[in-house]
Amino acid sequence: MIPVAENISPGSRIKPAMEDGRVLARRRDALWRRDRMIRAIRRFFSDRCYLEVETPYRITAPAPESHIDAVASSNWFLHTSPELCMKRLLAAGYPRIFQICKCFREGERGSCHLPEFTMLEWYHQGIDYRILMEECEELVTSVASDLGCGEVIHYQGKEIALQKPREMLSVREAFECYSPLSLAESLEREKFDEIMACYIAPHMGERQPTFLYDYPVYSSTLTRTKKEDPSVEERFELYMGGMEIANGSSELADVDEQRLRFKRARQFRRLQGKKVYPQPERFLEVLPTMPEAAGMALGVDRLAMIFTDLPAIDDVVTFTPEYI
Amino acid sequence: MYNASDLRKGLKIKLDHEPYIITEFNFVKPGKGQALYRCKLRNMVTGSQFERTFRAADTFGPADLREKKMQYLYSEEGKYYFMDSENYEQVFLSADQIGEAKNYLIDNTVVEILFFEDKPLEVSLPNFVDLTVVKAEPWAKGDSVTGNTKPVTLQTGYQLQVPPFIEEGEKIRVDTRSGEYITRVKD
B28 part of contact set with chain A, CB < 8 Å = yes
Percent of chain B with pLDDT over 90: 67
Q: Above 50 in pLDDT, residue A1?
A: no
Buried b (16+ CB within 10 A) or exposed e, A216-230: bbebbbbbbbbeeee
Query: pLDDT digit string (tens) for A9-52?
Result: 444 445 667 778 888 999 999 999 999 999 999 999 999 999 99
For residue B127, the distance in angstroms to the closest alpha carbon of chain A comes to 16
Contact A105, A90 (CB under 8 A): no
Q: Which residues of chain B are within 8 Å of residue A81 when distances are taken between CB atoms?
A: none
> Cβ contact (<8 Å) for A192 and B33?
yes
For residue range B65-74, what is the model confidence (pLDDT) as tens digits? Answer: 899 999 999 9
Model confidence at A238: pLDDT above 90? yes
Minimal C-alpha gap between A111 and chain B (Å): 7
Q: If you measure CA to CA, which chain B residue comes closest to A8?
A: B8
For A238, nearest residue in chain B (alpha carbons): B31
B28 and A112: CB-CB below 8 Å? yes
CA distance between the termini of chain A? 18
A66 neighbourhood in chain B, CB within 8 Å: 32, 34
What pLDDT is attached to residue A5? 44
Mean pLDDT of B121-128: 92
pLDDT in tens, A224-233: 999 999 999 9
Give the residue on B whose Cα is nearest the Cα of A299: B31
Surface-to-core class of residue A308, CB atoms within 10 Å of its CB (0-12 exposed, 13-18 middle, 19+ buried): buried
Rounded to an integer, what distance in angstroms lies between the CA atom of residue B73 and that of residue B82?
A: 5
**Does the pLDDT of residue B144 top 70, yes or no?**
no
User: Which chain B residue shows the shortest CA-CA distance from A2?
Assistant: B5
Region B1-16: mean pLDDT is 89
Phi/psi class of residue A253: alpha, beta or left (left: φ > 0; alpha: ψ in -120 to 50)? alpha
B36 touches chain A (CB under 8 A): yes
B33: closest CA of chain A, how far (Å): 6
- Residue A233's contacts (CB-CB under 8 Å, 6 or more residues apart) are A214, A215, A216, A217, A220, A223, A224, A225, A226, A249
Helix residue ranges, H only, chain B: 95-98
- Asked if the Cβ–Cβ distance from B36 to A193 is below 8 Å, we say yes
Confidence of residue B5 (pLDDT cuts 50, 70, 90): confident
N-terminal to C-terminal alpha carbon distance within chain B: 49
Beta-sheet pairing, A293-299 with B150-154 = unpaired
Among A245, A166, A175, A268, which residue's Cα sits nearest to residue A216?
A175
Query: Does A54 contact B at CB distance below 8 Å?
Result: no
Contact A198 B53 (CB under 8 A): yes
The DSSP 8-state label assigned to residue A11 in this structure reads G
Mean per-residue pLDDT for A164-175? 93
- Rg of the Cα atoms in chain A: 20
Distance CA(B53)–CA(B41), nearest Å, equals 10
- When the pLDDT of each residue in chain B is averaged and rounded to a whole number, the result is 90
pLDDT, tens only, A110-169: 999 999 999 999 999 999 999 999 999 999 999 999 999 989 999 999 999 998 778 999
Mean pLDDT of B79-92: 93
